[in-house]
Structure 1
Amino acid sequence: MKPTLFLTAALAAFAVQAQAQTATALRVPADQIATKKGPLTVQPITHGSVVFTWNGKTIYVDPYGGAEAYAGLAAPDVILITDIHGDHLDPKTLAGLSVGKALMVVPKAVAEKLPAEYKAQVRILNNGQKLDTLGMSVAAIPMYNLPEAPDAPHIKGRGNGYVLGLGGKNVYLSGDTEDTAEMRALKNIDVAFVCMNLPYTMDVNQAAQGVLAFKPSIVYPYHYRGQNGLSDVASFKQQVNAGNKKIDVRLRNWYLAAK
């Protein structure tokens, strides 16, 4: 290799490594949760975005915040998108990621807004439908505002929350919702990710009461940045554990990059 080419390659490799190190510094450490098919790794990214690795597969949920936020992470095998809003469906972030081999599981409204280049990768799930793929299950759960209204930020039937079945563990992702009857009726949830950001979803009190209704073993408050800043997740934890000490409320900083 000529010296100039070698130097160029070395600089490029250094840049990639530096980008990955920077991204890692802006992410909280990942958690691991045991399943029957090995650990489920939970990597918070930002806001409503999280990356799971399990059984040799990588799952991106609502990839948002710029591709640099995902530097150093494996390319996705599955991408779940919950809604059409830009903090869930973010074409700019998708364009910067290696998503060419990923199955995209989305509601119909999202499929209609995805760039044409992704159409062949899309599998549409409507509320109440279920998909089995790559050794896991994905069930679409309604997510919407209360009271129901045609001008609500999130109307019933447009977006999906999801319940993932991963090695005997059930993982619930609320998407943008309030404490709906469907959320309260969930059963056997091992890990839950629950939103709380006014005026778009529910407040801390609603979120706590919803969680106390369906009793997940572990709950992460996420998607907690609203118009007036960050929601009081410490109050959420206090309320949940006052009602049920067995629920493991895990507070993680989903907004490190915003500091």
Structure 2
Amino acid sequence: MHKLAISNLNRSILLCLSLLLFGNTATADSIAGSNGIIEITPLVHSSVQLEYDGFVVQVDPWAPIDISHAKTADLILVTDSPGHHLDTGAIADLSDTSTSVVIAENGLAQLPNAVVAINGELLKVAGVTVEAVAAYDIILGAPEHPKGDANGYVLTLGGKKFFFAGVTECVDEIKALQDIDVAFMPMNIPLARMTPKAAADCTKILSPEVVYTYHFDQDWVRRLGNPDFAGSTLPGGLNVAESLDAFERELTDSGIEFRRGDWYPK
């Protein structure tokens, strides 16, 4: 084998080992629910764990890092079909015989026994209310997220409404949502979709008590497959850390609490 190929392979192995060994600190935040605390744990990229009164929800569970600290779910919500949203191995690891799994229509081939939610559908699953919200592109081009393909979700838990936007822009279906308490908003999606300003403007329309940005470091994901990836520049010449700062500035005087979360292993 060529020396360069061996070197690249070794770097890939080292990256994978470091992710598996150190993983994510998975620090839990919280918000008060109607009958106690709701714990909110950012896991990685767009994977989130909620826990309330012994009930566990996993959103887009994905295992490029060690997720053995994540808890078995009563309910799993999957927003889209790519592997960093629909990871069948992670879903299996975090499921037992009583776990309910809700997916977008585009994931049916991979999870034929899951509950399919179409855009706009309101479901009662595992004893909680889930609304599927359209998630799609306004700026056209690859990577494409066509209307009707994927979901965001509004989940009502402990008297609070959580909105997981998935990969989307600020479409009319999102603007129409009301009484959201905690929002998870994507940012820095390729083709200048959901820039910090666009994501913040969308957040201000929703006016939640708390917002997290997620799915915002695409370079981190690319380096999983190519540790030598040099990185890309975001619109406006920003890097990822600067984009988070820009998002926070856009929320100044909005009354919305921005929580950055610990989404990516250092």
TM-score range, shorter chain: 0.7 to 0.9
User: Does the alignment pair 1:167 with 2:158?
Assistant: yes
Counterparts of 2:65 and 2:218 in 1: how far apart (Å)? 23
Shift, 1:234, TM fit: 1.5
**1:21-32, aligned counterparts within 5 Å?**
26-32=24-30
Kept in 2, the 8 Å contact 1:67–1:96? The answer is no
Paired positions, count: 227
Q: With CA pairs under 8 Å and 6+ residues apart, which has the higher RCO, 1 or 2?
A: 2
Kept in 2, the 8 Å contact 1:66–1:93? The answer is no
The one-character-per-residue Cα deviations of 1:112-135 (angstroms, maximum 9, x if unpaired) are 222xxxx33x11110000111333
Determine which of 40, 61, 79 is the counterpart of 1:82: 79
3-state SS of 1:93 partner? helix
The one-character-per-residue Cα deviations of 1:146-188 (angstroms, maximum 9, x if unpaired) are 1457x65211101000000112211000100011111122111
Shift, 1:99, TM fit: 4.1
Code of the residue aligned with 1:230 in structure 2: it is: V
Q: Gaps spanning 5+ residues in structure 2: where?
A: 1-20, 220-231, 233-238
Kept in 1, the 8 Å contact 2:216–2:240? The answer is yes
Shift, 1:107, TM fit: 1.4
Task: State the 4+ residue runs in structure 1 displaced beyond 6 angstroms.
Answer: none
Kept in 1, the 8 Å contact 2:24–2:263? The answer is no
3-state SS of 2:119 partner? coil
Shift, 1:62, TM fit: 0.3
Counterparts of 2:186 and 2:96 in 1: how far apart (Å)? 26
The one-character-per-residue Cα deviations of 1:5-33 (angstroms, maximum 9, x if unpaired) are xxxxxxxxxxxxxxxxx66x722420111
Determine which of 219, 223, 232 is the counterpart of 2:211: 219
Higher mean alpha-carbon deviation, 222-231 vs 189-198, is at: 222-231
Counterparts of 2:65 and 2:115 in 1: how far apart (Å)? 23
User: Does the alignment pair 1:182 with 2:192?
Assistant: no
Kept in 2, the 8 Å contact 1:35–1:168? The answer is yes
Counterparts of 1:55 and 1:182 in 2: how far apart (Å)? 31
3-state SS of 2:154 partner? strand
Q: Gaps spanning 5+ residues in structure 1: where?
A: 1-21
Counterparts of 1:27 and 1:108 in 2: how far apart (Å)? 33
Q: Which residue of 1 aligns with 2:13?
A: none
**1:140-159, aligned counterparts within 5 Å?**
140-147=132-139, 153-159=144-150
Counterparts of 2:83 and 2:261 in 1: how far apart (Å)? 22
Counterparts of 1:131 and 1:79 in 2: how far apart (Å)? 13
3-state SS of 1:68 partner? coil
Q: Which residue of 1 aligns with 2:223?
A: none
Q: Percent identity?
A: 33
Q: Which residue of 1 aligns with 2:250?
A: 239
